[in-house]
Structure 1
Amino acid sequence: MLLLIIAAAVIWRLYLWSRAPHDAPTRSVALSLLSAGLSYPVAMPGGTTGIDTVAGHGTAKLVQNVLLLLTVYFLMCFYLYSADGYAARRRARWEAAVVAAVTAAIILAAVSVPHEALAGSFSTADMTIPQVAFFYTGAGLYLMYALGAAGRWSARYARMSRRPHATGLWMTAIGLGAMAAACAVRAVFVAVRWSGGSVPHQLTASVAVGLVVSSLLFVAGITYSGVRARITATRLWLRRRRDHRRLIPLWQLLIEVYPENELRPASRGLWDRWRARGVHRRYHRRIVECRDGLVDISPYLVRGEDGTGLLDLDPTQLARRLRSAATMIKNGVPAPGQAVALAVPQEDDRNADVRQLIAVSEALRLTA
């Protein structure tokens, strides 16, 4: 489940990056999530065994930590590039030098000890070996520094933002802060074990679980606003597809008598029927076609009246008159009056206008 969530977040952010390839903040978030996503398969038993078998014991641990360092570095770059200033870009280059130095240091520590020394997990590693203790301490302290800085920036932007962005930023800030705290606790564990002490397994396991939970909260936070926007867009897409179908009876009646009102579609491809842009375009086109048809057919509904009474007709009555008017037009009867407004909602709102058209269309379907 964790891998599926992270994979979905990575794919989504890579898609956004492809839409804006020159946007530095978008690129930074995509690379941060990509690094984090790659680190999880490496850390899993199957991934660790495979890499260690090919490259030697301890290689998977080294690769995982380097990917985590890149994750938090690119995350810091997101905030730095968001500032959009020369000082921010200079700070990003300085941070790149720092992470490169830390990466080089832990690589030197890893290759200076037997491969078996890093083959186990954090809880089983022999911290009395200075290189092993330095490996975990160096990586952990940099993670704590970078995560803490990113968490502070997230909280700062959250206070300046409005929902739903503020909600996502607060989730991100809490997740980052929790991860930084967990890294600090693990650094204390390393110091205790390096000095010859021991740490209860339950405590180490609890911190590990906290890291996983805070990582999920972080991923959920940075994708929250985008996912919520997608959900809202999907709901609108579904509603407009449904309304487009519900307008069929009214649209068919009007297009049969006024075929010239049918607007030419921009595309007839099968994929366009499901794309959001195609659905919205057909939805608005059908509304325009229905409104144009009602204007053209309205003179046949007047019947010697001034036309004001037509606004008081309920959808069922209006549907019956529309069928009679359509029959008159097909029989070649000239228009007995002038055009008037039909099916006008009381509210001056596009959604209310659509609801009124749908009500007439549903009445036509029921009185067929």
Structure 2
Amino acid sequence: MGVITVAGGGPTVNLLASGVDVGIGAVNAVAAVVFALAFCWRLDQIRRAGWGLQPLAMMIAVAALTLAFVVVDDSVADVLNEVGFTGLSRVAFYALLAIGVAALVVVFFFPGKVTRERRAGWEALPLVVALVGLQVTMLVIPVEIRTATIDEWTVQNWGFALFMLIASGYLAYGFVACVNSVRKFYATADGYLRVSLGLLMTGLTCLAVGAVCQIVFVIVSATNVVRSPWLLTTNRAVAIVGVVTFLMGISYPMVYARVQSVAANRRRRRLDAELVPLWRLVTDAVPGVVLPDAGRLTPTTRLHRRVVETRDALTQLSPRVPAVFGYAEPEVQARLLRAAVAGHDPREGDGGAVRDLAPADGEGLEADAVPLIRLARALDAVQLVEEPADR
């Protein structure tokens, strides 16, 4: 816990300053990693789905925010200030944040393509003004305080105060615009998207509140209206909550997609394993339906392939299966199928019209596999009953 003493005979304010600073550092590091992962994920999504204004804006937003949290690192900031000019790191940080927020405004602006393109063009004006303002005001700030931490003393310089007002003002505007857009879409969203938008809206709201706190602090401190160091601590604490919640909102679709993918792969491996007894029975009788070996396959592809091969074999065996098969119990179906396989002779031809022995229960791969799985389980059950009897 740090102790901050306010000069001028005021009371000593006990704040969790050091804890907040450590928290900010940790959040910045995590944010850089998460935004980097999100950037890679967005590139993959663009590769799969193609380009467009919204995907491009999202990629720019994630890239800018990733670089912003890289620039804020002390070692990177020192290099920028040494190679460029003193204060370049601060200009770069807020400029990247502004670009990222401007891109987010376009991302979260959900009306049609033409309207979104107009909004993107309109957003360029305040963004350019903010970027130029940041650069100009930094040049009039004394060199010795360009990289100093914002406090009641540094904001006494009007150049420094104006720089922070421009930076915080644009961020507040952008965050509020994003919240307004997300709020409209949140009302009609559902499922994982509603959760993601809720987290994003909460995070953006906290970030907007933090930016407003910083604006108020700069104004009241620069004009010596009242001492308010607590506004800075509030800004930092709310910003940490906002960044963490925003990161959760950004990451939620990726995490959700990954969890769903892992669960689907596990489920399809299990379905594939359950389908093996039926597949072996019918493909041993009709080996011509088995596709050539394609090497290592994904669980989805392997299950799809096994379903197709099993259905092809059942179709070729169907002329030898009596009509009662269609409405018989699964155990009876299993016995009828085994009898058909035992009596199947490819040299004798089909012997009748073919038909679908196991119609799908719905649309999609897994619905296509359900009746086959029932039949495969019945085969296992019949075999378990018959084996003790044979002994």
Normalising by structure 2, we get a TM-score of 0.76
**Equivalent residue in structure 1 for 2:328, among 307, 311, 324:** 311
Q: Which residue of 2 aligns with 1:181?
A: 209
Pairs within 5 Å for 1:329-340: 329=344
Asked if residue 284 in structure 1 is aligned to residue 313 in structure 2, the reply is: no
Q: For residue 62 of structure 2, what is the amino acid of its counterpart?
A: L
Q: Which residue of 1 aligns with 2:32?
A: 3
In the TM superposition, residue 8 of structure 1 has moved relative to its aligned partner by 2.0
1:120 alignment partner, SS class: coil
Q: Is the 8 A contact 1:125 1:132 kept in 2?
A: no
Aligned length: 353
Q: Is the 8 A contact 2:196 2:249 kept in 1?
A: yes
In the TM superposition, residue 84 of structure 1 has moved relative to its aligned partner by 2.2
- Distance change in 2, residues 1:99/1:356 (3 Å): same
Pairs within 5 Å for 1:236-251: 236-251=264-279
Q: Which residue of 1 aligns with 2:79?
A: 50
Q: Which residue of 1 aligns with 2:247?
A: 219
Q: For residue 303 of structure 2, what is the amino acid of its counterpart?
A: Y
1:22 alignment partner, SS class: coil
Q: Which residue of 2 aligns with 1:168?
A: 196
Structure 2 Cα separation of the partners of residues 51 and 125 of structure 1: 25
Deviates more, 1:148-157 or 1:252-261: 252-261
Q: For residue 203 of structure 2, what is the amino acid of its counterpart?
A: G
Q: CA RMSD in A?
A: 3.6
In the TM superposition, residue 346 of structure 1 has moved relative to its aligned partner by 9.4
Q: Which residue of 1 aligns with 2:54?
A: 25
In the TM superposition, residue 147 of structure 1 has moved relative to its aligned partner by 1.0
Structure 2 Cα separation of the partners of residues 346 and 76 of structure 1: 44
2:141 alignment partner, SS class: coil
Q: Deviations over 1:200-225 (max 9, x none)?
A: 3x652342132122123223334534
Q: Deviations over 1:173-193 (max 9, x none)?
A: 222222111101110111122
- Distance change in 2, residues 1:338/1:28 (3 Å): closer
In the TM superposition, residue 295 of structure 1 has moved relative to its aligned partner by 4.6
Pairs within 5 Å for 1:6-155: 6-80=35-109, 82-85=111-114, 88-123=116-151, 126-155=154-183
Deviates more, 1:288-297 or 1:132-141: 288-297
In the TM superposition, residue 319 of structure 1 has moved relative to its aligned partner by 5.6
1:160 alignment partner, SS class: coil
Q: Deviations over 1:127-179 (max 9, x none)?
A: 11111000101110111111101111110111233333333223222222221
Q: Is the 8 A contact 1:58 1:116 kept in 2?
A: no
- Distance change in 2, residues 1:17/1:290 (3 Å): closer
In the TM superposition, residue 260 of structure 1 has moved relative to its aligned partner by 1.6
Q: For residue 64 of structure 2, what is the amino acid of its counterpart?
A: S
- Distance change in 2, residues 1:301/1:23 (3 Å): closer
**Structure 1 stretches lacking a partner, 5+ long:** none
Q: For residue 88 of structure 2, what is the amino acid of its counterpart?
A: T
Deviates more, 1:333-342 or 1:358-367: 333-342
Q: Which residue of 2 aligns with 1:352?
A: 370
In the TM superposition, residue 28 of structure 1 has moved relative to its aligned partner by 0.7
Q: Is the 8 A contact 2:71 2:92 kept in 1?
A: yes
In the TM superposition, residue 287 of structure 1 has moved relative to its aligned partner by 1.7
- Distance change in 2, residues 1:205/1:345 (3 Å): same
1:287 alignment partner, SS class: helix
Structure 2 Cα separation of the partners of residues 94 and 313 of structure 1: 65
Structure 1 Cα separation of the partners of residues 204 and 46 of structure 2: 23
Q: Deviations over 1:94-128 (max 9, x none)?
A: 32122111111111111222333121333487111
Deviates more, 1:326-335 or 1:69-78: 326-335
In the TM superposition, residue 286 of structure 1 has moved relative to its aligned partner by 1.5
In the TM superposition, residue 312 of structure 1 has moved relative to its aligned partner by 2.8
Structure 1 Cα separation of the partners of residues 106 and 214 of structure 2: 25
Q: Is the 8 A contact 1:20 1:26 kept in 2?
A: no
**Structure 2 stretches lacking a partner, 5+ long:** 1-29
